[in-house]
Amino acid sequence: MHHLDDDPYVATRRICAGAYLDREFRRRILRDIYADRVRRVCPSYGFDLIPVIRHAWRAWSLDALRHALLAALLVAAFVLSPASAVTVVGALGLYYVIPALGRLATDAWAYLRHRKGVPGEAAQLGYRARYVFYQVLGCALLISAAGLSLLGGRAAFALDLGRRVVPWPVRGTLLDALLIVAGLLAVNVTLAIGRQAAFQRLRNPVSLQPIVPSHRMKVIDLQQFHPFSVYGNDEPFVGSGDNIVTWSFAQRLVHAKDDPDEPDRPFSKPPFSTRKLIRTLGDRIQSLERSRHPETKLQNLKVNHRVLLDGIYAARFLPDLEGPPSKDTIRPSSSTSRCRETRCTSSSPPMR
């Protein structure tokens, strides 16, 4: 049995797999991280962002190639055999409309049994019914027009230099339609095999190596492991996931009480410095790596400095943001509204 702690690439591998399986996730990687040149990338804890972006581009390329081949095939079919192409397009439309019709029927039945009388339900169900009806009607008209062309269009011939020529709008046969469907299936199956092959290559650690071929990738590689994290008020860390819930760790410092009924006596001055607090927290967290108890031991645990910098003050730290900062810059100091220092932990360190 392969233990997860023995594989330093497990987090990166799973995120790369998500780029192949989830189109919306892949789109957010490329849009919010790679294409956003204004904002800095969020910290990468336990994974490497460079292989993730490379595989997101690879998955996007396969998807774009599939759409381009399908579009080219349909255009060629429409030029050579328009009636057959229209028939195939109408049939494909029904392929997507029929499941929507089934879901509509299921929701309508549930409405009649359980949700009848709920405000707004009838109007929403009626809107969906009209939308699906228009889709079915459009597909039916396409198939009917194409079918009439295929069955009776060849009776309308035009003379061209003594030869019979079928007019272009009614060119096509049922065999042509079947050949178009076979071509569409071949494109989808071939690209699906290619995507599965790229997906399987994730098992090889070589495919997860942090290759940085472009200037943008070098910038992302620098920023993801940089000790400075610049954030904004609207969306603090682009690419770090959806914000589910937030909370505060603010604690009121009071003197120890001998009597539980004694009122709280807050400190007039903090009993410890920020530097001592950060150092103590780092030592306590790092001790979990050496813990003898299996429930508290964290293998490969590494504690690093992380400075959270408000974006409106980023210009003052520009030299440190564009390269490795000096030790004096990131040493523990008093926290302010401009920058706050935290201790970052990772149980699977970055692959370097």
Question: What is the structure's pLDDT at 4?
Answer: 43
Rounded Cα distance between 241 and 9, Å, is 20
Write down the pLDDT at residue 167.
62
Q: Give yes or no for a contact between 29 and 66, defined as CB atoms under 8 angstroms apart.
A: no
Domain that holds residue 58: 4-62+205-346
Rounded Cα–Cα distance for residues 325 and 311 (Å): 17
- The answer to whether residue 52 is domain-embedded is yes
- Of the candidate ranges 138-147, 148-157, 213-222, the one whose mean pLDDT is the lowest: 148-157
Residue 276 forms part of a structural domain? yes
Predicted confidence (pLDDT) at residue 332 exceeds the cutoff of 50: no
Structure tokens at 338: 């401009």
Q: Which of 189-203, 221-235, 264-278 has the lowest mean pLDDT?
A: 221-235
Question: Is residue 175 pLDDT above 90, yes or no?
Answer: no
Whole-number percent of the chain with pLDDT over 90: 8
Q: In the prediction, which pLDDT does 57 show? A: 92
**Residue 242 scores a pLDDT above 90:** no
Could you tell me if residue 69 is inside a domain? no
Span 99-107, average pLDDT: 76
Q: How many domains does the chain have?
A: 1
Mean pLDDT of 300-329: 77
pLDDT tens-place string over residues 19-73 = 998 888 999 899 888 888 877 888 887 788 889 999 999 999 999 999 899 889 9
Which pLDDT tens digit goes with each residue over 255-309? 888 888 888 888 888 888 888 888 898 888 888 888 888 888 887 788 877 788 8
Residue 125 falls inside a structural domain: no
Q: Does residue 160 belong to any structural domain of this protein?
A: no
Domain membership flag for residue 143? no
Highest mean pLDDT among 185-189, 212-216, 268-272: 185-189
Give the pLDDT band (50/70/90) at residue 348. very low
Tell me which of 238 and 60 has the higher pLDDT.
60
Average pLDDT for 117-145: 70
Mean pLDDT of 225-234: 78
Per-residue pLDDT, averaged over 233-259, amounts to 72
> What pLDDT score does 119 carry?
65
Is 246 a residue whose pLDDT tops 80?
no
Q: Evaluate if residue 161 carries a pLDDT over 50.
A: no
Mean pLDDT over the full length of the chain: 76
Contacts of 42 (CB under 8 A, 6+ apart): 224, 229, 237, 238, 239, 240
Residue 32 lies in a domain: yes
Of 147-161, 238-252, 314-328, 338-352, the range with the highest mean pLDDT is 314-328
Q: Which residue has the higher pLDDT, 151 or 309?
A: 309
Residue 12 belongs to some domain of the structure: yes
> In this predicted structure, which of 60-69, 82-91, 159-168, 281-290 has the lowest mean pLDDT?
159-168
Give the model's confidence band at 140: pLDDT under 50 very low, under 70 low, under 90 confident, else very high. confident
Task: Say what the pTM is.
Answer: 0.68
What pLDDT, on the 0 to 100 scale, is given for residue 158?
A: 43
Percent of the chain with pLDDT over 70: 74
> In this structure, what token pair is assigned to residue 86?
């229209």
- Identify the band that residue 235 occupies on the pLDDT scale cut at 50, 70 and 90: low
pLDDT of residue 186: 93
